[in-house]
Structure 1
Amino acid sequence: MIGSLVSTGRRRKLAAGPHRALIIAAATFSAWVVYANLFTISDPLVLGILFVSGIFAIMFVAIGASPNAPDRVPAYDFALSGLSIACGVFFFLNATIISDRISLLEPFTTSQFFFGTILMILTLEATRRTTGLGLTSVVVLFLIYNWFGYLLPPPFGHGVSEFSYLLDILVFTTDGIFGVPIQVVASYVFLFVMFGTFLSASGGGEFFFNLAALVTGRTRGGPAKIAVISSGLYGTMSGSPTSDVVATGSITIPVMKRLGYTARFAAGVEVAASTGGSAMPPVMGSAAFILAEYTGVPYNDIVVAAIVPALLYYLGVFGQVHLRAVKYDLRPSEDEIPTVRQTFATGWVFLIPIIGIVTALLSGYSPTFTAGVGVLMILLASSLMKRTRLSPWGIIEGLGDTTLRILPVAGACAAAGLVIGGLSMTGLGMKAANVILVVSNSQPFVTLIIAAIVTIVLGLGMPTPSAYILAAVLVGPALAKLGYPILQSHLFLLYYAVLSALTPPIAVAALAAAAIADEDPFKIALSAVRLAVVGFLLPFAFIWNPGILLLGDVEANTLAVVGGILATIAIAISVEGTYGANITYIERILLLIGAVACITPLVGVSLAGIVLILGMLMRYGVLLKRQTKPEPIKAGG
C-alpha cells in the first residue's frame, strides 16, 4: 500500500544514441533557462509557460508511466511529449491575449478550452510519474472539492464552480500552474540545482566526504560522523533527502556496516543526516526559495535566521552518534582516512565557488544572480586543475543532468500550483485555518502541535516543496491569526515539511536507505526519528525564543545560542542515556528540565538552566576522567 503511494515512473535507461539525444535536448533546455533568467524573459507568465511545456516534453520521454516501464519510449509517450510542446507553442503565441483577457468574464475560445484542459491533464500525469500517487491523489481531491464543493453545507461549501471557472483560474492566470512554485523552480531553484550538479560532476561530493573523514574519521564512531557531516554538506546543495541518501549513503552505509554498525543504525544515521541538509543554509533546497517568494521575506534574511537551528540539528545528530559510539566502543577505520594533503590537493578549488555564493548572498545580490555566478565560478574553478576539469561533453552532460534532476521538483510544484489556485478561489485555506483554531480553542501551544502534525501528515510521501506549500496555504493562516511573525511561523512549517521525509509510516528517505542497507525501512525510520529528535523540538524552540533565529539584540541572541547549544547536548545525553557511562532516569529528567530552561526567552530562567546543564556536564567530565584514569600500581606489587 505504502509502496504504491510513493512509487513513481521508472527513469528510462535509453540506448546510447537516444540517450545522447535526450541529454542534448535537456542541455539545450537547461541553457535556455539560464539565458532566459539572466538575460531576457521578465514576464513570469511567458517564463512559466515555456518552462512547463519544455520540462513536460522531456519528462514524458525520460520517465516511464510505471515502475516497470520499458526502456524503449512507446508511441504514446512521444505523443504526450508532442502535446506538451503544442501547449507551449499555443500559450506562447497567445500570451498577450491571455494576459489581457478578463478572467471569469470573457468566455473561452474552443482552442483555449482544449489546450487548457490538455495542460491540466498533462500536469496530473507528470505529477503521478515523478512523485507518485500520494501527491497526485491530494491534488485530485482538491480539484474535486473545487469543482463540486458547492454541494457541501457551510462552512465548507463555496459558490457554484463550473469547470470553465476552475480552468480559468488554474491555467490562464499566474495563480495556478504558472504560479509561485513553478516560477521559483524555473528561476533560482533550477540554477542552484545546476550549481550542485556541476559541483558533483567535477568531484565536489568526494571532497565533502574526504573533508568530513579528515575531521572526524579517526574518532570513535568516525564513519557515522563522516556520514553526518558529508550528508549535511551535500544535502544543502542537493535539497533532496532521498537523492542525498542515495548519493552519500551508497558510500557511508556499507562502510559503517563493515565496521560493525547494525544496518538499522547505519541507515538511520544516513537518513537523519541527509534529511537535515534541506534545512541547511546557504541553499536549503528549493522549499526555502519558495518560502522567500511566498512570504516576501528576503532570502538573505532566511539564510541568516536558519543557520543556528540547522547547526543545532546537526549538533544533536552528531552528539547522539558520538554517545552511541562511546557506549558500544565503535572504533574508526584508520586505513580509509585521507590526509590533509590528499583532501586539499584538488579539493581546494571547490572552496572558491562556495565562498563566492555565500559572499554574494550576504552582499544582497538576488538568489537568481547568485546562483548564476555560482555556476560560472564552479566551471572556472574546476578548470584550474586537470583532475577536476570538465570536458565539453561533460559540461553538456551537466546541463542535461540538471534538467533531469529538476523533473520531480517541477512536477510537484506544477501540481502544487493547482492546489494553491484552487484554495485561493474557494477560500479553503482560511476555512482550514478556522477549523484548526476551533479544534485548538485558539491555544497557541496546542495550535502549534496541530500545525506540526498536519504538516508532517501532508508531507508523507511528498517532496519537501509540496509539503511546505500545502502547509503554508492550509496551516499558515492559523498561525498568522494568532500573531506569530511570518518568518518564524513559516520556518516552523518548513522544518516539519523537511522532517516528514524521515517520519513513519512512509518516510521516503528511509525507503531509499533500506535498499542500500538491506533493512526494514520502518525500523530505519524509527532509528532516524530518535537521532533527529532535536529537529522535532527546534521549531517550538525558535517560535518561543526568536533569539535562536538571531532576530533579537546581541545579548538576547548570544544567550539564546549558548542556551540552544547546551540544551541540544543535554537532550542528546538524555535520549541516549549515557555520557560515556549510564545515567539514571532522574538525571535524564533533570537534563530535559535544564534544556527547556536554557531556551526560554526569560533571562533569569535561561541563566539558571545554563548553570544547571554546565554543572551536570562538569560532573560527568570528572566522573569520566576518574573512570578512564589508570589504577596506580601498589607498592611491592
Structure 2
Amino acid sequence: MGKKEQNSKSSNDKKLEEKESNSVTTSSNGKIDTTVDEEAIEAASGMRHLSGWVRYLFMTIAVIGALYHLYILNFNPIDPWVFRSTHLVFGTVLGLMLYPGWRKASSKVHIVDWLLIIASIYIGYYIYANLNQLVFRFGVTPTDMDFYVALVGLLLVVELTRRTSGWVLPILALVFVGYVFAGPYLPGILNHNGYSLERFVTYVYGLDGVFGVTTDVSSKYIILFIIFGAFLQMSGVGQYFINVAFAIAGGLRGGPAKVAIFSSGLMGMINGTSAGNVVATGSLTIPLMKRTGYPPQFAAATEATASAGGQLLPPIMGAGAFLMAEITGIGYSEIIIAAIIPAVLYFTSVYFMVDFKALKSGMKGLSREQLPNVKAILKKAYLFVPVILLITLLVQGFSVIYAGTAGIIACFVLSLFSKETRMGLKSILEAFELGMKNAIQLISIVACAGIIVGVIALTGIGQRFSSLLLSIADNNMLIALIFAMVISIILGMGMPTTAAYAVAASAVAPGLINMGIDPLLAHMFVFYFAVISAITPPVALAAFAAAGITGTDPMKTGFQAFKLGLAAFIVPFMFFFSPELLLQSDSTVGIIIASITALVGVYLLSAAVQAWFLGKHAQWYSRIFLMVAALLFMLSSLYTDLVAIGIVLLVIVIQKFINKSDMIQKAA
C-alpha cells in the first residue's frame, strides 16, 4: 500500500471516529444525548440536499400528498385504480426530486428529472380521464396510447426503484419480464405460449400488476403508518421510546446493546425497512455499544438483527401484517395475535445473545448519571398513549385506517401537554413532509414488486412452481419447507421486506398450501424468511447498512448478524411441529407449556452460539448438546422435552465436573 493510500485511509478513519463521537455526545450534566442524527440518515440514503424554491416546492407537494391520502382514506373513498395511481404519482414526483439519477449528480434537480416528473403526472391524469375505458382495454385490447403510457409508467417504476433501493429489485423484475418473452422457447414447466408486448405492458401496468395488491396495501396502510411514525418522531414520542429503553436497559450489563434491541425493535415495527431503521437508530446505539466494550462488528450485527426483527413485531410488523391480510384474506387481528409468541422468542434469543456476550467480556452498563432521569421519564408516561390507543383499537376490531388516523391525532394532542414536545404548525407540516419522504422508497418497491406479481399471474408460473415444489419434495413436509426457506431467502436478498414477502407469497406460499399446510402457517413461514433475508449473507442489507456505520467488513458483519438472529431460522419450522406457538390450539395449557419450553429452547440456543453456560465457557461438544436440547425444547412434545431435560443435565455435569476451566474466552 502506498503512502498516499495510507494517508487517505488514515483520514477516512479519523472522519469515521469524528462521526461516531458526534453521534453520541454527553451533555453538561453528564447524561448521554439520545437524539438520533438526522443528517447521518440523509447522508446514508444518498438523497439530494434540496434548497431554495425547490425545497419549498418539495415540502408543498409532500404535505398535499399526505393530506390527500388521509382525506381519501377517512372521508371520501374514490375508485381504487385512481387512488393507487395518484399514490404512485406522488411517490414518483417526490422521489425524482429527492433522489439523484447518478452518483455524482449535484443537489439541483436535473432537467431530465423535471421531464420525467411531467411524464408521471400525465400518466396519472391519463388513467383518471380514461378510467371507464381502460378497465376493459388494459391487458386485453389496448390502444397505441394505452401502450405508450403503460410502457413509460413501467420504466418510471423501475427507475425510481433503482434510485431509492439499488439495482437488485429492478434486475429481478427485469428477469421476470424477460421470462414473459422467453417462455415459448423454454422447456418443461417454464414453457408458455408467450404474449405480445402491448398486452404484457398494459396487463402488468394495471390492477393485476403494479396497481395490484402490493400498491393497494401501500396506498391504504403503509403510507398511513409511515405518517404515524413521522408524527411519533416530530412530537417527541419516538424519542421518548428511546429514552425509556435507556432508562430500563441502559444500566444493565452491556446496556446499550439491550437498548438497541428494545428501541430498534419498536421503531423497526413502524419503519417498514430494515436497512432504513438501522441507519435511523444505529447512528445512536452502535457508538454507545462500542463505548461499552462490544467489538464494532458485534455492535453492528446487534443493531441489524434488532432492526430486522422489528418487522416481526405485532401489531404493525413493518406493514407485513396488512399485506398478509390482503393476500390471504385472513383477519388482520388473527395474524397479529398469531405473531406474538414467535416475535417474543426472536427478541428473547437476541437478548440472551448480547447478555452472554456481556457476561463473557465482563462488561458493565452505563452509569445511572449518564441515563435519562427516571422521574422525568415517568412524568411523561402519557406519551405511550398513541401506541396503546393504536393497539387497543386494532385488537377491538376497528379498521386499520381508523386506528392509524386516531394514533396520528393522539400524537399531536399529547405533544401539546409539554413545551418540549409541543407541535406548532411548522412541526405539523414537517411531520407530513417527513412521512411522505419516508414513504418514497416503499412506494417504489411495492410498485416494482407488483411487476413481478403481475408476471406470475399472467404466465401462471406460480402455480407451476408449486407443482415443481410438490414433485421435488415428494410430499415430504420437511424437504418442502427447506426448499421454501431457501427460495424465500434468495428472492428476498437485497430487497426490502415488503417487496421480498410480496414476491415469496406469490411464488412459494401457494406450493406449501397445496401440500395441505394451513394458509396462515404457510404465509407466516415465508414472511419470516423474507424478513431475515436482510441479515442473511451474502446479501444482507441490514447488516451492510450497520457495517457502513461502524466501518467493519460487511460480509463478516452479515455472518455475525446471522448468528445473532439464528432463532428466526428455526422458529418458522416450529410452526408446523408446534402450532401452539402460533396460538393454533384449543388447549390453553398446551400453549403455555409450548411457550415456556420454547423460551428455554432459545435460551439454550443462545448459550450454544455464544459458548457460555452456567458462568463458564462451553466446549464444542457442550455446544452441540445445547443446540440439540434447544431444538427439542422448541418441539411441542412431552417426549422431546424429557429428552432435552436429560441432555441439559448431562451438560450441567460436564460444566461442573469435567470442564473445570473458569477462563473467560472472548467470542470470535
**Common fold, TM-score beyond 0.5?**
yes
Pair 1:555-2:589 in alignment:
yes
Q: Compute the displacement of 1:609 (Å).
A: 5.1
Counterpart of 2:144 in structure 1 is 110
Give unpaired runs (5+ residues) of structure 2: 1-42, 663-668
Counterpart of 1:236 in structure 2 is 269
SS at match of 1:355: helix
Q: Compute the displacement of 1:561 (Å).
A: 0.7
* Contact 1:560 1:599 (C-alpha < 8 Å) held by counterparts: yes
**Counterpart pick for 1:10 among 43, 46, 60:** 46
Pair 1:59-2:59 in alignment:
no
**Counterpart pick for 1:309 among 329, 332, 342:** 342
Q: 1:258 to 1:600 in 2, by over 3 A?
A: closer
* Contact 1:265 1:524 (C-alpha < 8 Å) held by counterparts: yes
**Counterpart pick for 1:135 among 166, 169, 188:** 169
AA aligned opposite 1:424: A
The within-5 A match list for 1:400-549 is 400-549=433-582
The within-5 A match list for 1:136-215 is 136-171=170-205, 173-215=206-248
Q: 1:50 to 1:59 in 2, by over 3 A?
A: same
* Contact 1:237 1:284 (C-alpha < 8 Å) held by counterparts: yes
| Structure 1, 531-540 or 58-67: larger mean CA deviation | 58-67
- Alignment deviations for residues 18-55 of structure 1 (CA, whole Å, 9 cap, x no partner): 21221121111111011111111242212112211222
Counterpart of 1:31 in structure 2 is 67
AA aligned opposite 1:599: M
Q: 1:84 to 1:104 in 2, by over 3 A?
A: closer
Partners of 2:335 and 2:519 in 1: how far apart? 11
Counterpart of 2:617 in structure 1 is 582
* Contact 1:9 1:129 (C-alpha < 8 Å) held by counterparts: no
AA aligned opposite 1:138: L
- Alignment deviations for residues 408-445 of structure 1 (CA, whole Å, 9 cap, x no partner): 11111111111111111111111222223333333211
Give unpaired runs (5+ residues) of structure 1: 1-6, 629-637
Partners of 2:417 and 2:644 in 1: how far apart? 49
Q: Compute the displacement of 1:556 (Å).
A: 1.9
- Alignment deviations for residues 219-269 of structure 1 (CA, whole Å, 9 cap, x no partner): 211121111111111111212211211111111111121222211111111
Q: Compute the displacement of 1:621 (Å).
A: 11
Q: Compute the displacement of 1:619 (Å).
A: 7.9
AA aligned opposite 2:147: F
Q: Compute the displacement of 1:540 (Å).
A: 0.7
AA aligned opposite 2:234: A
- TM-score (norm. length: structure 2): 0.88
SS at match of 1:601: coil
SS at match of 2:188: coil
Counterpart of 1:594 in structure 2 is 629
* Contact 2:341 2:582 (C-alpha < 8 Å) held by counterparts: yes
Q: Compute the displacement of 1:627 (Å).
A: 11
Counterpart of 2:113 in structure 1 is 77
Q: Compute the displacement of 1:612 (Å).
A: 4.4
Partners of 1:621 and 1:214 in 2: how far apart? 35
Q: 1:338 to 1:81 in 2, by over 3 A?
A: same
| Structure 1, 20-29 or 206-215: larger mean CA deviation | 206-215
* Contact 2:462 2:508 (C-alpha < 8 Å) held by counterparts: yes
AA aligned opposite 1:568: V
Counterpart of 2:352 in structure 1 is 319
AA aligned opposite 1:175: D
Counterpart of 2:418 in structure 1 is 385
* Contact 2:230 2:434 (C-alpha < 8 Å) held by counterparts: yes
Partners of 1:313 and 1:147 in 2: how far apart? 43
Partners of 2:426 and 2:149 in 1: how far apart? 37
- TM-score (norm. length: structure 1): 0.92
Pair 1:123-2:123 in alignment:
no
AA aligned opposite 1:596: L
Aligned residues: 615
- Alignment deviations for residues 511-559 of structure 1 (CA, whole Å, 9 cap, x no partner): 2112221211111111111111111111111222110011112122112
SS at match of 1:35: helix
Partners of 2:46 and 2:116 in 1: how far apart? 16
Counterpart of 2:330 in structure 1 is 297
CA-based RMSD: 2.2
Q: Compute the displacement of 1:620 (Å).
A: 10
Counterpart of 2:130 in structure 1 is 94
Partners of 1:616 and 1:233 in 2: how far apart? 38
Q: Compute the displacement of 1:586 (Å).
A: 4.0
AA aligned opposite 1:110: D
Q: 1:510 to 1:593 in 2, by over 3 A?
A: closer
SS at match of 1:501: helix
Partners of 2:234 and 2:652 in 1: how far apart? 46
AA aligned opposite 2:602: T
SS at match of 1:589: helix
AA aligned opposite 2:601: A
Q: Compute the displacement of 1:155 (Å).
A: 2.3
SS at match of 2:161: helix
* Contact 2:315 2:321 (C-alpha < 8 Å) held by counterparts: no
- Alignment deviations for residues 297-352 of structure 1 (CA, whole Å, 9 cap, x no partner): 11111111111111110100100111110111011120322231132333x23211
* Contact 1:54 1:88 (C-alpha < 8 Å) held by counterparts: no
Partners of 1:140 and 1:315 in 2: how far apart? 40
* Contact 2:272 2:498 (C-alpha < 8 Å) held by counterparts: no
SS at match of 2:89: helix
Q: Compute the displacement of 1:358 (Å).
A: 0.7
Q: 1:291 to 1:67 in 2, by over 3 A?
A: farther
* Contact 2:139 2:200 (C-alpha < 8 Å) held by counterparts: no
- Alignment deviations for residues 130-152 of structure 1 (CA, whole Å, 9 cap, x no partner): 22111101111111111331222
Identity %: 31
* Contact 1:9 1:66 (C-alpha < 8 Å) held by counterparts: no
* Contact 1:320 1:576 (C-alpha < 8 Å) held by counterparts: yes
Partners of 1:374 and 1:204 in 2: how far apart? 11
- Alignment deviations for residues 594-618 of structure 1 (CA, whole Å, 9 cap, x no partner): 322222233x225425744886799
AA aligned opposite 1:407: I
